Amino acid sequence: MAFRWLANIIAPPICIGCGWPGSWLCKSCHSHLTWIDSQIDWWSLINLDAGVAKIWSATEYVDLAKEIVVRVKYQRQFALCQLQAKIMMLAYGKYIQEAGIDWLVPIPITTARQRWRGFNQAALIAKHLSNYTNISYNLKALRRLDHGTAHAKKNRQQRQAELPMFEANPVVCQGKTICLIDDVVTTGSTLKTAAGACRQAGASQIFAATFAATIG
């Protein structure tokens, strides 16, 4: 904690939107995110069937939201995972807290990609969201089996055609209400296969929560 305080004095966070020092996203730029109304079922409107009871997303995957995701994945700005979780909490935190969720379960990446990247952004987001919601997160509920190329390098049709493979832990999932956590939802294919694995392992109900979503 003391180290973080000292680091912020030496090199304080700079707003991604306007460059103003003091925070990763200042109050003014915060309002420029394209927020998604959590009370509207956007996913049914765009015919996205992810096989979950509800998908919550805080913002559309455009402009500042896209910049935040890119900085985490490719510039290793891990502090922004906490910002993502905070924005998720502001957008729909109360709905997550009222849903009776037992576990926040981050969507895993392959072992090879985890080794190459050194982190899984979904796991970091889940950790911070757990702190905000007081809902435990679990890294052992789900593991990824495929070894395909990154979704960021594929178009929409390729993502829909190549479904990832997951295996869920029945000891962790049996009879539990699970909320899958990811940074971005695009086609819903990843969430759908992950949800299917959790359901096969005995999960009683499955939700999903992401920082951003591609709509349209």
DSSP string, 58-71: EEESSHHHHHHHHH
pTM of the entire structure?
0.86
pLDDT score of 152 more than 60: no
Separation CA 84–CA 90 (nearest Å): 10
Rounded CA separation 214/187 (Å): 8
Burial of 120 per CB tally in 10 Å (0-12, 13-18, 19+): buried
| 38 vs 35: CA distance, rounded Å | 9
Sign of torsion over alpha carbons 28, 208, 112, 139: positive
Least confident of 107-111, 121-125, 173-177, 181-185: 107-111
pLDDT digits (tens, 9 = 90+) for 53-106: 999 999 999 999 999 999 998 888 888 999 999 999 999 999 999 999 999 999
**H-only helix segments in 20-109:** 27-30, 42-45, 63-75, 79-97
Asked if pLDDT for residue 45 goes beyond 90, the answer is no
* pLDDT per residue as tens digits for the range 180-213: 999 999 888 899 999 999 999 999 999 999 999 9
121 near 183, Cβ under 8 Å? yes
Cβ atoms of residues 195 and 50 within 8 Å: yes
- What region does 178 belong to: left with phi over 0, alpha with psi -120 to 50, or beta? beta
Contact of 20 with 14, CB cutoff 8 Å: yes
Considering the domain 37-213, what is its CATH architecture? Answer: 3-Layer(aba) Sandwich (3.40)
